A and B are shown apart, each in its own frame.
Chain A
C-alpha cells in the first residue's frame, strides 16, 4: 500500500484479513500508484514528478527517475497516475500530461514516449504476456497499445498505439486487460468489456461489446402489504409510500392518481461508510441495513401522516456484518447472510426487540460469504447462495440443512421460492433458468424440459443478468423476472419458443385478433417498456411496481468531464 506520506507498507494476506509486515523506504512525495515486478523482487511507486523503484528485500529505493524532465512547461507538476513494472525491467508510466512512457529503470533512461491524449492518463493495465496494454484517460477515451514488430517478421519490436475507444463520458478510473478483452470502468458508472477481435475466433456473442451500468444487486426493497419502497443509496436510505388510483383503463393509458406518492423518511447512515445492504419487512414495520462495520435495525411506525423510526436496541453484534438482509414473509424473523456460508436467524419481537435464534451453516463448511437469500412464503425453507455458487437449502422448522442444489458452474444472479409449490427458481448469470423442487430434492420436470430443449438464443445472448424473481399468487404457473432492460412473465403452461420464433412478440400479438393469438403464444412474455430497470416486484395480483433509473438522471449529477473544444462550437 502506497501512502500519502510517501511510505510504502507491505501487508501479508492471512486467512481472515491482512497483517502489517513492514515499512519500505519512505521518501517525500505522495505515492499514487504501485506495481510489483512479476518476480516480486522490486516495487515501482509513482509519485508527483517522479517514480522510484524499491528493492523489496532490502526495502531501499534503488532508483529515482524524474518524469517531467523533457517537458518545457515543467512548472506544472506531472502526476504519475498509473505505473507498471514489466518482467523485462521496463517501467511503464502514465501521467497527467497524457503521456505513456517506457523507461529502463536500471539506467534511468527514457526508451519511448507516447503522448496518447491531451488530458491526463489515469489508469493502465498490461496483459499477462506483456505485449499489449490499455490506458484510460480523463476524457473518457481508452487507448490500446501493442508491442508490434517494426517490420513484418522482424525482431525489433516497438510499442504502438493501435486503437482508440470512446466508451465513457467521464474519467476512466480503472482498466483491466484479460487475455481476450479490454475492460474499463469510468466515473460515469459504466463498466465496458470490449473483446479483442483478433483473439475471438468467430463473430459471435462473445465478440460483442458489453456495457454495464448498474450493479447486479438489489438496491430497492418492497414492503408488499404496506406498499412501501425502500431505496438504498450509498450513504442513506429513503422510504416512500406508493401512490394509488381508483380508475382502470386500457393498455398504455396513464391513470389519474387519487393519492400521490409520499416520501416518508430519509435515514442517513452515520460515518463515512457506504451502506452495503438494506431490507424492509413485507408488513413495512421493520427496516434494517448494514455497512461494512455495523448492522442496524429500525422499527417503522406510520400513524396516519406521521412516520416515526425507532432504533431497535440491543441488536446482537455481528462480526463481520451482513452481506444480505431478508425478512421472512410473515415479518417475524430476519435472515442475515454472513461470512463463511453462515446465515443468522433473528427473531423479531414486539414491540421492538430482536433475538438471535440460530445460525445456519453448510455441513461441509464454506469459505465464502452468503450473498443471496430466499425464504419460502410458508416459513418452512430458506435457500442461501454463497460466493462459491453453492445453493444450500435449510429447513427453518428444525434449523437443519435440507439439501444442496446440484452444482452448476456459474454465478447465481437471482433466486426465489414459489409460494405454493415450494419450487426454487434459480437464474444464473449465463441466463440459464432452473426450477428445483425443494420437497423432492430434484429438478422439476419443467426444468428438465427447458434444459433438454434449450432456451431461445435471443434470451441467452442478453447482456444483463436477471436480478429479481417473483411470483404471481393468482396464477401459479407465472414466474416474473427482470433484468436491466426487460421484465418478463414466464408462463410455464405455454410452450417454449424455438430459435425461429420471435422472442419479443408482445407488440406482434397486440396487433393480432384474439383468435389468431393462440398459435403465436409462447412462454416468454417480455415487456421492454421500462428501461433501464432497477427493480420490479408484484404488489398484489394485478399490481406491479417498477423502478426506472434514467441514466441521464445520475449523469447530470456527475462532475463535468474534461471539456473538449469541438470545432465550430
Chain B
C-alpha cells in the first residue's frame, strides 16, 4: 500500500449499524453488506451514496456473508439457515428456517469443494461446541459435537478442505492448537436419522515460546506445515507483549515471530501470502513466504560431494506399517493377513504381478538356510533397480539384522557386504546393521558402510573409530579391507616390524599406561610424521571414518570419551596425513577416496578440542603437540611468504601488461 489513502469510502445513515463484514463478489465486482441485521445492501465501485444503493429487507437476521470465487455469495443466518445470494434475491422475504436452538454461532467459513460450495460453522451452547457442515446446493446438513477439553475452551477456529476432508483447526484457551478431521460425506438417508456424532480432536501444536505460553487470539493456516498465530506473551512485571508468530507444525517449532508493541485488535487475516492486522491505529500488511520444511536443511552438514550421487527416490508407501510388522513379528497368521492386504496394494503400485511381495519374501527368508537366503536375495538384486526395490532391500536387511540379533551365530557376512556394496542404502534404512557389524567386528562391512552411508549418527561413527583404533595390527593383517585409500601414500618400508610393534604397544596397551608416564619415549616417535604410525589396514579403516559425514557438536561429546592412548595414536596418524599432504603442491593425497586436507584439518581440530586437557597432561603427547605446533607454524609462514610472492608477481605482470600495450613492433609474418 503505497499512498495510504482509501480508494473508496461508503457510510450508512446515522443510527444504522453495519452488522456484518462487507464482502466483495469477485464475479460481479459488487460489494455486499448488511446493516441493522436484516437490511441487505449491494453496490458497486461507482456508487457514491450507499443510501441509494440496492436494498433488500430480509425476514431473518444475517450472521455472515461469504463470497466464494466462482461460487457467488452465501448468506448465513443467525438461526443457521444458509441461502445463496441469488436464491435470496429472488424472494427477499422468504421464510428462513431456524436450525439452532439457543446455540450461538461462533465462527463460520465457506469453501468450494469441486463445483459446490460448502459452509462450515461452529456454535456454542452451555459450553458445548457444535460443528455444522452445510452444502446449500445439495440441501444437506451435518451436525457434529466437538469433544470437550475441560476446562479449556476454543477461542478461534479456522478450516481448510483437502481431499474431501475438512480440517478444522481450533485454538484453545490452554494455549494449544487442536486438529479435527471431518469427512465430507455423500448424503444418504439413514444418516439423517443418526445421532449427532462426536468429533475427536488431536493435539497439533503447543504454543510455547522458550517456556512461556503464547496466549493466542487468532489463528490462520498458511500451508500444510505452517500456521500463524497472533497472541500475547506474558512479560513479568509488564504488560504482555503481543506478537505474530509462524509455527512449523511438522517439527513443532516456532519458525519466526514479530513483536507488535502497539497492540492489536486480536484479529488476523491472511490473503495471498500477506497478513493483514490492526497494529495500533493502522492496518499493517506483512508479506511472508513459507518454504517447504525439511529437516536436512535445518540440521547437520551435508555429505561430502564425492559420494553424494543418490539418483533415485524411495517410495515410502512400500514401507508402511504392515510391512514393518511383517519383518518384526514372527506370527505367521498376522503376517499373512497383513500380507494379503498389502499384496493388493503393492501389485497395484508396482504393476508387476507374479513376483513376490515384500511380505512373502520376508516370510520365506525368515528361517531359511544361508544358501536359500543367498539365492533368493541374488534373484531380488538382479531385478531392474526400481525405487521400491531399494526400500524392499532395506526391509530385507532389517530382517536379516534382526535375525542376527536373535541368533548370534547367524551372520551372513558376504551377503550383507554384497547388498551394501551394490545398493544405495542408507543408515536410516537399516538402522541396526552397523551395530550388528560392530558387535561382529566385521571391519570390512563397517568400512563400506562408512564410505557409502550418508547419514550415520555420530555415535556410531565414534564407535567405529574406537573399534578401529583398538584392534591390534596383527589381527588386521588377516582382514581383507579395501586398501585403495591408503596404499598410495603409506610407505611400506617404514612399516617394518620393529617400528610398528613399538607404536602398537604404545598405542593401546593398557598396562603400559602407568609405565609410560615418566619413562623415555621411544625414539621412533620423535620422528613423527616421517613414518606412518599405523599399519596399512588400519590407515584404510581410519580413512573411512575421516570420510564420513558428521556434525561437530554431536561428535565432540563422544570424542571426549576416547581413551587417551587411542587419541594420541589417532592424532599421530592425522599429523602424519597432514605432513604427507603438505609435501605435494596441490595438498592432496594420491589414491581413491584418500582423505582431503580439509577433512584432516577438521578432524585434527576436533580431536584437539575434545582431548586437549588430557593431551596437555600426557608426557608422551608433549613432543607430538610441539612438533605439530612447529609444523603448522612453519606452514603458516610458508604460505604467507607465498602470498607475498604471488602479490609481487601479479604486480610484475601488471607492469608487463602496461608496457606491452604500448608496443609497436615490426614482425615477419609468413602466410603460406
Contact = CB atoms under 8 A, between A and B. Distances in A.
A510 B669 CA distance: 12
A254 B670 CA distance: 13
B661 A553 contact: yes
B672 interface: yes
Contact of A552 (B2, B661, B670, B671): B661
B664 interface: yes
A252 interface: yes
A109 B1 contact: yes
Nearest to A108: B2
B668 A506 contact: no
A525 B2 contact: no
B517 to A, nearest CB: 44
B7 A255 contact: no
B384 interface: no
Nearest to B287: A113
Interface in B628-672: 657, 660-661, 664-672
B672 A509 contact: yes
A542 to B, nearest CB: 10
A251 interface: yes
Nearest to A514: B672
Interface string B1-12: 111000100000
Interface in A250-308: 250-255, 257, 260-261
Nearest to A50: B2
B433 to A, nearest CB: 38
B289 to A, nearest CB: 11
Contact of A109 (B2, B661, B672): B2
Contacts of B667: 252-255
Given A65-B3, A69-B2, A251 B670 contact: yes
Contact of A544 (B2, B7, B661, B669): B669
A489 B670 CA distance: 11
A489 B671 contact: yes
A251 B3 contact: no
Contacts of B669: 251-252, 527, 529, 544
Contacts of A510: 670, 672
A254 B665 contact: yes
Given A107-B7, A553-B661, A66 B668 contact: no
Interface residues of A, number: 38
A309 B7 CA distance: 70
B672 A254 contact: no
A398 interface: no
Which among B2, B660, B667 has the greatest number of chain A C-beta atoms within 10 A?
Answer: B2
Interface string A503-526: 000100110000001000100010
B573 to A, nearest CB: 29
A338 to B, nearest CB: 36
Given A251-B668, A251-B670, A108 B1 contact: yes
Contacts of B668: 248-253, 255
B672 A108 contact: no
Contacts of B672: 506, 509-510, 517, 521, 525
Interface in B98-124: none
A92 B24 CA distance: 27
A550 interface: yes
A509 B670 CA distance: 11
Contacts of B666: 243-245, 254-255, 257
Contacts of B7: 107
B3 A64 contact: yes
A551 B66 CA distance: 66
A532 to B, nearest CB: 13
B3 A66 contact: yes
Interface in A512-561: 517, 521, 525, 527, 529, 544, 550, 552-553
Contacts of A255: 665-668
Interface string A74-114: 00000000000000000000000000000100011110010
Contacts of A113: 287
A261 B666 CA distance: 10
Contacts of A521: 672
Nearest to B671: A525
A64 B2 CA distance: 9
A110 B661 contact: no
A506 to B, nearest CB: 6
Interface in A176-197: none
A527 B661 contact: no
B671 A243 contact: no
Contact of A108 (B3, B660, B664, B671): B3
A368 B501 CA distance: 94
A178 to B, nearest CB: 32
Contacts of A261: 664
A108 B285 CA distance: 14
A525 B664 CA distance: 24
A481 to B, nearest CB: 13
A97 to B, nearest CB: 15
Contacts of B2: 65-67, 69, 103, 108-110
A527 B671 contact: yes
A10 B660 CA distance: 51
Contacts of B1: 69, 108-110
A510 B667 CA distance: 17
A65 B2 CA distance: 6
A65 to B, nearest CB: 4
Interface in B415-434: none
Interface in B1-44: 1-3, 7
B657 A552 contact: yes
A65 B667 CA distance: 64
Contacts of A253: 667-668
Contacts of B660: 550
A108 B7 CA distance: 10
A46 to B, nearest CB: 14
Contacts of A103: 2
Contacts of A251: 668-670
Nearest to A491: B671
A529 B665 CA distance: 14
A67 B3 CA distance: 10
A11 B672 CA distance: 59
Which among B3, B287, B657, B668 has the greatest number of chain A C-beta atoms within 10 A?
Answer: B668
Nearest to A63: B3
A544 B667 CA distance: 10
Interface string A42-74: 000000000000000000000011110100000
Nearest to B660: A550
Contacts of B670: 250-252, 510
Contact of B671 (A65, A248, A506): A506
Nearest to A69: B2
Nearest to A251: B670
Contacts of A252: 667-670
A436 B3 CA distance: 67
Nearest to B5: A108
Nearest to A110: B2
A249 B671 CA distance: 14
A304 to B, nearest CB: 21
Q: Which 5 A-B pairs have the closest CB atoms?
A: A251-B670, A65-B2, A509-B672, A553-B661, A108-B2
Interface of B: 1-3, 7, 287, 657, 660-661, 664-672
Given A109-B2, A510-B672, 11 more contacts: A103-B2, A108-B1, A108-B2, A110-B1, A248-B668, A251-B670, A257-B666, A509-B672, A525-B671, A527-B671, A552-B661
Interface of A: 64-67, 69, 103, 107-110, 113, 243-245, 248-255, 257, 260-261, 489, 506, 509-510, 517, 521, 525, 527, 529, 544, 550, 552-553
28 contacts: A66-B2, A69-B1, A103-B2, A107-B7, A108-B1, A110-B1, A110-B2, A250-B668, A251-B668, A251-B669, A252-B667, A252-B668, A252-B669, A253-B667, A254-B665, A255-B665, A255-B666, A257-B665, A261-B664, A506-B672, A510-B672, A525-B671, A525-B672, A527-B669, A529-B669, A544-B669, A550-B661, A553-B661
